[in-house]
């Protein structure tokens, strides 16, 4: 019977072939807009985008995919995930991804969103070979070379610039990456990067090996009781991310429901360019029992920090950790790799049917103590040379309701709680409720829990989200988040409270037209000014409004028109911002071209508007649009052959409200900026 279904689905796939975007080259723009509905400067969007891009380039096998991996996609609700897993249990292994269309709850739109991230491997090919042969003969591999450059000269490259502000290297940003992988079997790869202004150096004694940043990983999966083994650079995601949290966590977005939960997916290779958010060493996941998995990790790596020397006590301390990853000026170079950080962690994970529970213990040790300059707001920030956290997490699914939670404690310090419920009340209505409570002295370096602040500390909050699908044409979503800060914060020198809400309406009158309207408001207290050591505060209220329409003229030609507006009110001051843009994408056989024309008008940097831009494959562009002027870009892509692709991108920005761009060593004399990017990808 399944063979008949498979044949029918193959024939159906040919019938709809013209309507399906190629899986590996799918356009992420719509997905980014749906998931990253609100933009915040505190959020690391590049790491999140990197994880989605890696899922696109390394899709998971439907016959091996775990519930947590499906949760990490964020656009599948509990009912859809349960239906997919139950279908696989009852009907047996998938023969084709098109079988998903037989599953109740997986409609055409969901199928089209899911298709780029999954695959079905033929078990009769490859797995009977030796591991070395599988690696050497794997077709899912690529080598990327990318180079970026700003045409205008920045102050840091000029010879008459003071030595302390001069850049050591060229203005080129050079990036390479290689990866080969097979879903559920192995992954090998490396990434290198030289940022603009950095110098290529070979000085092993000072930890320079050519490019400033080099990352490698080797991963083996599902080898007997060893479910996961990684050597090199990796990230970790356990519980709700209070102690160990990677970038597989979004938080508040237009999806509103599924994005507030963190999937318990364990260890993953690290392939991002963010030079502060990863571990370096080894990690292992071992199935001690059919229901018990033990995870362990060790990491030792060097980090950037501002080193302070006390000539009297002869004790070195670190006043701050530097996370930009930039090493261009003498001061940045001196701070490079000045602090050694070691991490040791263990997790005991118990799984039985829909119950997922565990214990986490994580210890961090520095070779120099961290001693921050005392400020009014940072009295409860981490101080010292070591930190230990422990937590217990519990996730349970009953029918269409999922409960998730984690309670953590910093030894001798404060505690943190993150808990919530996600449910599909009907086939049309999904809801979520989340509660969080983070003590002001709770301290964790690798957390990614749902929070209003950039770290889970000094915060209490209650969140409610919902998503309602009327029919194929109409859907609505929204959330309301109420939060408090019991202690002082950066730029808010008084205990305070605030709120945030979002409403979004989607309209899809046909397969070729998609529209949405969105409104958000955030109210958060900020300092006004200081007079006689008295800090005055007031609510800063930011409102954002989006109007967007995507329309497909034919399979080769698509358009996008958007207008974004915002206002920001603080005290008696009110400012406004606006962006109006037009995108166009045209493709023909091996060639495609995308372009944008945008008009920008913002009163201040508080009114900046983040807008996703198309970029070369696996690159990320989400710049803040600020000032008054225009911004354009054009992106060209050409498939030279089945194994070679090339991209070229030119971005142009012209301001009419200033005579210089940037500040400090990044200053450009003039009001025009041109950025060029070239990339080639080779499938070996």
Looking from the CA of 8 toward its CB, the CA atoms found within 13 Å total 9
- CA distances (Å), origin 646, targets 23, 145, 323: 18, 10, 31
Q: How far apart are CA 243 and CA 406, in angstroms?
A: 9
Does residue 133 surpass a pLDDT of 80? no
Q: Which pLDDT band holds residue 443 (cuts at 50, 70, 90)?
A: very high
Looking from the CA of 380 toward its CB, the CA atoms found within 13 Å total 22
Which tokens is 121 given? 């491997």
To 10 degrees, the CA torsion angle through 46, 50, 51, 57? Answer: 160
Of 532 and 297, more confident: 297
Percent of the chain predicted with pLDDT > 70: 88
Q: How far apart are CA 569 and CA 122, in angstroms?
A: 58
Does residue 3 surpass a pLDDT of 50? no
Of 627 and 528, more confident: 627
Does residue 649 surpass a pLDDT of 60? yes
Q: Would you state the pLDDT for residue 331?
A: 93
CB distance 249 to 450 below 8 Å: yes
**Opening angle at CA 627, ends 625 and 630, nearest 5:** 70
Q: How far apart are CA 42 and CA 491, in angstroms?
A: 14
Give the residue carrying structure tokens 């529970």.
357
Query: Once rounded to an integer, what is the mean pLDDT over residues 141-150?
Result: 94
Q: Would you state the pLDDT for residue 185?
A: 86
Does residue 520 surpass a pLDDT of 70? yes
Does residue 187 surpass a pLDDT of 60? yes
Task: Output DSSP code: residue 446.
Answer: B
Does residue 151 surpass a pLDDT of 90? yes
Average pLDDT over all residues of the chain: 87
Q: Would you state the pLDDT for residue 17?
A: 37
Q: Would you state the pLDDT for residue 46?
A: 62
Q: Would you state the pLDDT for residue 72?
A: 76
Does residue 76 surpass a pLDDT of 90? no
Query: Which 3-state string (H, E, C) describes 471-538?
Result: CCCEEEEEEEEEEEECCCECCECCCEEEEEEEEEEEEEEECCEEEEEEEEEEEEEEEEEEECCEEEEE
Task: Output DSSP code: residue 84.
Answer: H
Query: Once rounded to an integer, what is the mean pLDDT over residues 452-457?
Result: 89
pTM: 0.88
Q: How far is CA 579 from the centre of its chain?
A: 24
Q: How far apart are CA 585 and CA 593, in angstroms?
A: 6
Q: How far apart are CA 545 and CA 563, in angstroms?
A: 8
Backbone angles phi, psi at 664, to 5 degrees: 60, -135
Q: Which pLDDT band holds residue 426 (cuts at 50, 70, 90)?
A: confident
Query: Once rounded to an integer, what is the mean pLDDT over residues 297-306?
Result: 95
Which tokens is 27 given? 């356009």
pLDDT tens across 322-361, in order?
888 999 999 999 999 999 999 999 999 999 988 999 999 9
Q: Which pLDDT band holds residue 194 (cuts at 50, 70, 90)?
A: very high
Q: Would you state the pLDDT for residue 6?
A: 39
Does residue 78 surpass a pLDDT of 50? yes
CA-closest candidate to residue 41, choices 648, 655, 643, 608: 608
Q: How far is CA 239 from the centre of its chain?
A: 18
Q: Which pLDDT band holds residue 96 (cuts at 50, 70, 90)?
A: confident
Q: Would you state the pLDDT for residue 16?
A: 36
Q: How far apart are CA 414 and CA 391, in angstroms?
A: 12
Does residue 99 surpass a pLDDT of 90? no
CA dihedral (63, 68, 69, 70) positive or negative = positive
- CA distances (Å), origin 665, targets 267, 285, 317, 326, 508: 39, 46, 27, 13, 47
Range with the lowest mean pLDDT among 42-46, 75-79, 129-133, 447-451?
A: 42-46
Give the residue carrying structure tokens 């930890």.
207
Backbone angles phi, psi at 516, to 5 degrees: -150, 155
Query: Once rounded to an integer, what is the mean pLDDT over residues 549-565?
Result: 93
Q: Which pLDDT band holds residue 2 (cuts at 50, 70, 90)?
A: very low
Q: Find the farthest-apart pair of alpha carbons in the chain and give their distance in angstroms, rounded.
A: 82
Q: How far apart are CA 491 and CA 500, in angstroms?
A: 18
Query: Which 3-state string (H, E, C) describes 350-366?
Result: EEECCEEEEEEEEEEEE
Q: How far apart are CA 509 and CA 516, in angstroms?
A: 11
Helix, strand and coil percent figures for the chain, each rounded to 5: 15, 50, 35
Q: How far apart are CA 250 and CA 262, in angstroms?
A: 8
Q: How far apart are CA 38 and CA 45, in angstroms?
A: 11
Range with the lowest mean pLDDT among 22-31, 169-178, 402-411, 462-471?
A: 22-31
Query: Once rounded to an integer, what is the mean pLDDT over residues 397-406?
Result: 91
CA dihedral (255, 261, 266, 272) positive or negative = positive
Q: How far apart are CA 603 and CA 585, in angstroms?
A: 31
Q: How far is CA 594 from the centre of its chain?
A: 24
Residues 78-84: contacts with CB under 8 Å, at least 24 apart? 78/397, 78/400, 78/401, 78/402, 78/422, 78/423, 78/424, 78/430, 79/105, 79/400, 79/424, 79/427, 80/105, 80/106, 80/110, 82/397, 82/400
* Phi-psi category of residue 314: left, alpha or beta, with phi > 0 → left and psi -120 to 50 → alpha: left
* Phi-psi category of residue 585: left, alpha or beta, with phi > 0 → left and psi -120 to 50 → alpha: beta
Q: Would you state the pLDDT for residue 89?
A: 86
pLDDT tens across 39-66, in order?
555 555 666 666 666 666 677 888 888 8
CA-closest candidate to residue 441, choices 415, 465, 419, 467: 415
Q: Would you state the pLDDT for residue 204?
A: 83
Backbone angles phi, psi at 500, to 5 degrees: -150, 140
Q: How far apart are CA 31 and CA 619, in angstroms?
A: 15
Task: Output DSSP code: residue 260.
Answer: G
pLDDT tens across 281-300, in order?
999 999 999 999 999 999 99
Q: How far is CA 10 from the centre of its chain?
A: 35
- CA distances (Å), origin 613, targets 109, 145, 381, 544, 581: 23, 20, 36, 19, 11
Does residue 584 surpass a pLDDT of 50? yes
Task: Output DSSP code: residue 371.
Answer: -
CA-closest candidate to residue 45, choices 454, 582, 471, 626: 454
Range with the lowest mean pLDDT among 70-74, 259-263, 416-420?
A: 70-74
CA-closest candidate to residue 677, choices 26, 54, 33, 145: 145
Which tokens is 118 given? 């999954």
Percent of the chain predicted with pLDDT > 90: 59
Q: Would you state the pLDDT for residue 521?
A: 95
Query: Once rounded to an integer, what is the mean pLDDT over residues 525-539?
Result: 78
Range with the lowest mean pLDDT among 7-16, 430-439, 542-551, 613-622?
A: 7-16
Q: Which pLDDT band holds residue 427 (cuts at 50, 70, 90)?
A: confident
């Amino acid at each position: 019977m399944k063979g008949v279904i498979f044949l029918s689905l193959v024939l159906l796939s040919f019938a709809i072939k013209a309507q399906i975007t190629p899986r590996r080259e799918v356009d992420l723009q719509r997905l980014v807009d749906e998931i990253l509905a609100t933009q915040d400067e505190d959020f690391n969007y590049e790491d999140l985008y990197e994880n989605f891009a890696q899922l696109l380039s390394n899709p998971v096998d439907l016959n091996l995919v775990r519930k947590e991996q499906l949760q990490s996609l964020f656009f599948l609700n509990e009912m859809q995930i349960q239906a997919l897993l139950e279908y696989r249990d009852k009907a047996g292994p998938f023969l084709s991804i098109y079988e998903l269309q037989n599953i109740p709850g997986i409609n055409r739109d969901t199928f089209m969103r899911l298709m780029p991230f999954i695959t079905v491997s033929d078990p009769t090919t490859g797995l009977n070979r030796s591991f070395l042969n599988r690696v050497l003969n794997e077709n899912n591999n690529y080598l990327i070379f990318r180079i970026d450059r700003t045409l205008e000269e920045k102050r840091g490259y000029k010879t008459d610039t003071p030595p302390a502000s001069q850049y050591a290297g060229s203005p080129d940003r050079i990036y390479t990456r290689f990866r080969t992988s097979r879903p559920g079997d192995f992954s090998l790869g490396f990434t290198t990067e030289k940022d603009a202004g950095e110098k290529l150096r070979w000085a092993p004694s000072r930890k320079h090996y050519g490019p400033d940043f080099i990352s490698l990983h080797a991963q083996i999966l599902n080898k007997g009781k060893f479910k996961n083994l990684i050597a090199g650079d990796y990230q970790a995601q356990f519980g709700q991310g209070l102690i160990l949290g990677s970038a597989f966590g979004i938080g508040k977005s237009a999806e509103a429901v599924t994005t507030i939960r963190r999937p318990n997916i364990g260890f993953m290779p690290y392939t991002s360019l963010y030079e502060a958010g990863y571990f370096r060493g080894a990690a292992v996941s071992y199935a001690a029992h059919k229901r018990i998995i033990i995870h362990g990790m060790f990491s030792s790596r060097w980090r950037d920090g501002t080193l302070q020397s006390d000539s009297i006590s002869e004790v070195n301390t670190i006043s701050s950790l530097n996370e930009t990853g930039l090493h261009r000026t003498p001061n940045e170079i001196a701070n490079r790799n000045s602090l050694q950080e070691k991490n040791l962690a263990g997790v005991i994970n118990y799984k039985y049917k829909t119950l997922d529970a565990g214990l986490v213990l994580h210890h961090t040790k520095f070779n120099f103590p961290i001693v921050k300059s005392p400020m009014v707001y940072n009295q409860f920030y981490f101080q010292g040379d070591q930190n230990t956290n422990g937590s217990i997490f519990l996730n349970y699914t009953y029918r269409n309701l999922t409960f998730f939670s984690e309670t953590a404690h910093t030894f001798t310090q404060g505690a943190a709680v993150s808990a919530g419920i996600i449910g599909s009340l009907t086939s049309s209505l999904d809801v979520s409720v989340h509660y969080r409570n983070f003590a002001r002295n709770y301290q964790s370096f690798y957390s990614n829990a749902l929070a209003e602040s950039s770290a889970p500390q000094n915060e209490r909050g209650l969140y409610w989200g919902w998503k309602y699908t009327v029919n194929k044409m109409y859907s609505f979503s929204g959330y309301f988040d109420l939060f408090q800060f019991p202690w002082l914060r950066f730029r808010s020198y008084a205990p305070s409270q605030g709120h945030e809400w979002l409403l979004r309406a989607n309209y899809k009158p046909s397969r070729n037209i998609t529209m949405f309207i969105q409104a958000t408001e955030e109210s958060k207290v900020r300092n006004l000014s200081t007079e006689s050591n008295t800090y005055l505060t007031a609510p800063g209220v930011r409102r954002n409004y989006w109007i967007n329409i995507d329309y497909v003229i034919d399979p080769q030609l698509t358009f996008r028109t958007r207008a974004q507006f915002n206002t920001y009110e603080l005290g008696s001051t009110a400012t406004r911002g606006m962006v109006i843009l037009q995108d166009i994408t045209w493709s023909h056989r091996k060639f495609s071209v995308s372009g944008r024309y945008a008009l920008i008008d913002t009163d201040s940097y508080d009114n900046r508007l983040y807008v996703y831009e198309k970029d070369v494959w696996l690159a990320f562009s989400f710049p803040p649009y600020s000032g008054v002027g225009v911004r354009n870009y054009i992106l060209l892509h050409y498939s030279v052959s089945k194994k070679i692709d090339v991209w070229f991108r030119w971005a142009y920005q012209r301001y009419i409200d200033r005579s210089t761009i940037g500040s400090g060593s990044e200053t450009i004399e003039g009001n025009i900026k041109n950025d060029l990017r070239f990339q080639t990808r080779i499938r070996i």
